[in-house]
Amino acid sequence: MNSLAQIPFFTLYGEQPEKSVLESLHIESISTRSSSNNWVIRPHRHGQLYQVVVMSSGSAEVLLDEQRQQCNSPVAICIPPGAVHAFHFAPGTEGSVLTFGLDLLEDQDYSHTAGHFSELLSAPQMIRFTPENLQLQRLQGYLSDIQQELNSERPGQFLVQKWLVRLVMMSLKRQWLDLGLEQQNPDQSLSLIRSFRHLVEQHYAEQWKVEDYARELNLPPARLNRLCRNLLNCNAKQLLQERLLLEARRKLIYTRIHIEQIAFELGFSDPAYFSRLFRQHQGCSPREYRAQHEHTHCH
């Protein structure tokens, strides 16, 4: 691949994006696509769609951006828009793949629920369950209900689908909290952080400064830094650098773009500075990092 853009964006794996996917909702079994592909789903990403993969039995080698790990069921994997992901399932693995558009969560009343879901959906997450877990039973029930709603034509169908998707996400969030993976924070602060992260996704390659984001959010830069330290355990500049470096790592792993070109695409006018910054954070040069991850793809 010569460009990260060549890592395909799919609506569903193997299907090209439609012009409007914001209100999409789809559910299918893991085997629907993986069994016919030797249980391998190669690296890809979704533009404006969230995806939740719930494994009820079996296991998989999972690639989430540059991180690869083995996971055993039962487990739920949350994949936000733009995250590169791939799977190599053990043959016979069972479970569901739920895919839904942004508008199912981000409508007029989402401001009241943003604090519950925003962090869960801002980065790939792996949420583990025990077989008899109550949240898992509820989650599987909601997924079954979604399947039934999609196969029926009844009054209020879209509203019910939207509520069921939120019940799925709430079950995942409660399990996340039960596992101690997140501390609860005030909704207003989380909403501001979510808006900040959304802006970062739009402008990170333009090398906006912290002051630019603070101005867009109508916040003093000092308050934006406090929010980041309190909720993300880093300051705003560190978050900006990490987002740039995440994209750099994606390009190094999944493309063959020349390193100087990667630097320019990420807004660095001096490729040597980009290499120094990368080494400072990763402990190796971009060239060394690429060489270390030549076999990161799921096979």
Residue numbers of the chain with a pLDDT score lower than 50: 17-22, 183-186, 298-299
Provide the pLDDT for residue 195.
Answer: 86
Please count the CA atoms within 13 angstroms of the CA of 161 that sit on its side-chain side: 23
Provide the pLDDT for residue 45.
Answer: 84
Residues 155 and 212 in one domain: no
Q: Does a structural domain hold residue 27?
A: yes
pTM value is 0.64
Provide the pLDDT for residue 2.
Answer: 52
Angle at 254 between CA 248 and CA 256, to 5 degrees: 85
Residues 174 and 198 in one domain: no
Residues 92 and 235 in one domain: no
Q: Does a structural domain hold residue 299?
A: no
Residues 49 and 193 in one domain: no
Rounded to whole angstroms, the Cα distance separating 85 from 66 reads 9
Instruction: Give the Cβ contact number of residue 244 at 10 Å.
Output: 21
Residues 25 and 151 in one domain: yes
Q: Does a structural domain hold residue 207?
A: yes
Residues 59 and 160 in one domain: yes
Residues 16 and 104 in one domain: yes
Residues 156 and 287 in one domain: no
Model pLDDT for residues 189-239, shown as the tens digit of each residue: 767 887 898 899 889 999 999 999 999 998 899 989 988 887 777 899 999
Residues 98 and 225 in one domain: no
The answer to whether 126 and 71 have CB atoms below 8 angstroms apart is yes
Residues 164 and 115 in one domain: yes
Rounded to whole angstroms, the Cα distance separating 9 from 16 reads 7
Provide the pLDDT for residue 185.
Answer: 42
If one counts the domains in the chain, the total is 2
Rounded to whole angstroms, the Cα distance separating 75 from 22 reads 26
Q: Which domain-ending residue is among 178, 206, 241? A: 178
> What's the whole-number average pLDDT of the chain?
84
Angle at 80 between CA 215 and CA 28, to 5 degrees: 155
Residue range of the domain that includes 76: 4-178
Q: Does a structural domain hold residue 298?
A: no
Which residues have a Cβ under 8 Å from the Cβ of 108 and sit 6 or more positions away?
none
